[in-house]
Structure 1
Amino acid sequence: MPKIETHFHTKESSPCGYIPAEEGIKTFHNGGYDAVIVTDHFSRSVNGTAEGQVWDTVCDNFLSGWRAAKKAGELIGLHVYLGMELRFPYDENDFLVYGFDEAFLYEHPWIYEKNLETFSKLAHENGLLIIQAHPFREMCFAADASCLDGVEVKNYNPRHDSRDAMALAWARQNHLLMSAGSDYHQITDFSGAGIQMEHLPADETELAQWMRDEKYQILLLPRE
């Protein structure tokens, strides 16, 4: 079954990313993965406010990591999907968003300046999937479950205690989808985490729909 990394950052678009997209993609390809979802940070703190900025330029900068990863993947036969790790200005919570394309970004300016409730309505009108990342990590908290589709119940970033057991219990309590990811920022973050599907989705829309329909399995590897 194809293996998919769900939480991957690039140096090009995430200031906390240390690995260029091409190098990261090669790492996952060599590690037996068939696909990666690039989820670079998208927020006011990373991408700036509307003051003095052009939204198309903000999108171009954000998409640069995904575009580099996609180009690298095409050369070696690894599928690269577009995603994001979205944060609103009011707290430290992060949300992995799947199911959108470039056009959606350009057509919806300053989405990271909204709030979860407003964005959730927009996302679900457009078939997007919202997964709260590491909800019980320090400075984070469980968001309104009615605005979410799922929870990252296994986050393998070695520099944080994401309190995965709490995330798993909360996901079960609220009947939410579950996911797992490496939260890849640097070489040591490669973990073998992610999800598996019977086939690779054709595009971002199909990826989100198959996850919504629970046509996947979680790769749960024990921490060393």
Structure 2
Amino acid sequence: MFKLEMHCHSQEVSACSTCPAEALAARYTAAGYDGIVLTNHINRGTYRKMEDWPWKKKAEYFMAGYHAMQDAAAGKLDVLLGCEINLTPVAPLSEDLLHQGWLKYYPNDYLVYGVTEEWLRDTGDMRYMTLQDLSRCVRDAGMLIIHAHAFRCDTLMTDPELMDGYEVFNGNARHDSHNFLAEAAADHYRLIRTAGSDFHRPDDPINGGIVTERRIRSNEELLRVLRSGDYDLIRE
């Protein structure tokens, strides 16, 4: 049996991560994982110091983190390219909530699996898409869009028809993701179920992912397995 992490971040790209690629590779190797999907953030935090860069330069910055992870994991782990996208609306979602002081940004995150470097470069800044456009863009490219930690207290409900699945286990120790609600939603709408550690820091627990009978070495294999349901969830 083979273990694959579905949700982790490295400090080379994700501003909220404090774990460099070398340390991340060492942690997952020691934990007995065979691979990871590196899902660094595409959000305002990632590009906070480079908003005036053209998109293709931003995409290259994002992919440099992936390449650093590949180098760090060489001979130890398979590294697949994914991302976690946070949309940035041009207008506030709700003036009332904004005035209450807590809705200062779009709170939902979407995991995308099957990502290619070409798609990242050519799509443009997807942070400014509507969710409808993002969903269509992902699906038209043959990839999958999964609602990450969909039932945290600060998230907003989205149309399940725009999602391919739900992250039914999010293992981040600093958040209550109400995983049981995500699992209920995935079951009710008969959507794909994923699990991930949401790893950010060197001492974070490694407690999520999927287990498969065959080792997953490419995004093509990952998409096939997720669509088939031929896997078990890791949720420790």
TM over 0.5: yes
**Considering only aligned residues, what root-mean-square deviation do their CA atoms show, in Å?**
1.7
Q: Are 1:39 and 2:54 matched, yes or no?
A: no
Unpaired segments ≥5 residues, structure 1 = none
* In structure 2, distance between residues paired with 1:128 and 1:156: 24
| 3-state secondary structure, aligned to 2:203 | helix
* In structure 2, distance between residues paired with 1:146 and 1:48: 32
Shift of 1:22: 1.5
Q: Match of 1:92?
A: 107
1:183 to 198, 223, 227: 198
- Amino acid of the residue matched to residue 88 of structure 1? L
* In structure 2, distance between residues paired with 1:50 and 1:175: 40
- Amino acid of the residue matched to residue 166 of structure 1? L
Q: Match of 1:65?
A: 65
* In structure 2, distance between residues paired with 1:42 and 1:179: 20
Q: Match of 2:230?
A: 215
Contact 1:50 1:110 in 2 (8 A): no
* In structure 2, distance between residues paired with 1:107 and 1:49: 22
Shift of 1:11: 0.5
Question: How has the CA–CA distance of structure 1 residues 83 and 51 changed in structure 2, closer, same or farther, with 3 Å as cutoff?
Answer: closer
Q: Are 1:194 and 2:193 matched, yes or no?
A: no
Question: Which stretches of structure 1, 4 residues or more, deviate above 4 A after TM superposition?
Answer: 48-51
Deviation by residue 1:150-191 (Cα, 9 ceiling, x = unmatched): 101111111111111111111111111111111000123222
Contact 1:43 1:113 in 2 (8 A): no
| 3-state secondary structure, aligned to 1:46 | coil
Q: Match of 1:127?
A: 142
Please identify the structure whose Cα radius of gyration is greater.
Answer: 2
* In structure 2, distance between residues paired with 1:142 and 1:216: 27
Q: Are 1:108 and 2:123 matched, yes or no?
A: yes
* In structure 2, distance between residues paired with 1:86 and 1:176: 19
* In structure 1, distance between residues paired with 2:18 and 2:9: 9
Q: Match of 1:139?
A: 154
- Amino acid of the residue matched to residue 79 of structure 1? D
The normalised TM-score by structure 1 is 0.92
Aligned residues: 220
* In structure 2, distance between residues paired with 1:188 and 1:26: 12
| 3-state secondary structure, aligned to 1:37 | strand
* In structure 2, distance between residues paired with 1:43 and 1:147: 20
The normalised TM-score by structure 2 is 0.88
Q: Are 1:29 and 2:44 matched, yes or no?
A: no
Unpaired segments ≥5 residues, structure 2 = 90-105
- Amino acid of the residue matched to residue 95 of structure 1? Y
